[in-house]
Structure 1
């Protein structure tokens, strides 16, 4: 090992040179640690208002369950059908209300499931005999 002189030519040197991966450096020319920055997170007013609406007093209770099986499918990569999914096991979904015990039939197929998911919770909530008439509902 050689040492004694800073590898940076010219300029003022300070302190005893030490070995670094970039070569021998004095205190003035030694690599400096990057300053640590704390990431700042800003929450939009709409998100903050939604979070505040979702806070409830007391414990939350699960009132329904949605079961979704995405199925087994492979996407076509080439040709005129590129981007389409060929299913070997169709996707399926089922909704269950834990308050009244009602279960939907099992829905199969990607398009049928999309339509089912868009309305099932609100449709059953309107007809559920065990649904509370007022108060907050679990999302």
Structure 2
């Protein structure tokens, strides 16, 4: 599908424009694939099985993890309990701080998990001895 002008204005263009997720782009502005790096020794001795892709160094690190299991529940459709949920396995959650190695107890039950996940990050950061020295991402 061609015929549209490239969406990047005022730049040098190369080739006909094609439709990409980012819009109509010419060959010069089209997304480039990431290069695959194969170690020279591995390429000469055997076919490459493990290929490493270059990655940019990350300045952030994970300092805490929130694990949530939403459980398995079924809504009751009929009878006097219609609209309620029957839990085959209860929802549960746990929080772990990588910075200070603290781990919470498992919290079980839909309402308890909701309350726990709403407040645990800020509650723990207030008492975490490593919170003042660590800046990072929280994995949820």
When the two structures are superposed, what TM-score results if normalisation uses the length of structure 2?
0.53
SS at match of 2:115: helix
Gaps of 5+ in 1: 1-36, 41-57
C-alpha displacement of 1:81: 1.9
The 5 Å alignment of 1:1-139 reads 59-132=59-132, 137-139=136-138
Shift of 1:38: 9.6
Q: Secondary structure at the match of 1:131?
A: coil
For 1:42-92, what per-residue CA distance to the aligned partner results, in whole angstroms no more than 9, with x for missing partners?
A: xxxxxxxxxxxxxxxx62111100111111221111233222111121111
Larger Rg: 1
Judged with a 3 Å threshold, the aligned counterparts in structure 2 of structure 1 residues 101 and 75 are, in CA distance, closer, same or farther, namely: same
Q: State the 1:112 CA deviation.
A: 0.7
Unpaired stretches in structure 2, ≥5 consecutive residues: 1-18, 23-57
Q: Answer 1 or 2: which has greater strand percent.
A: 2
Q: Does 1 or 2 have the higher relative contact order (CA < 8 Å, sep 6+)?
A: 2
TM-score w.r.t. the length of structure 1 is 0.54
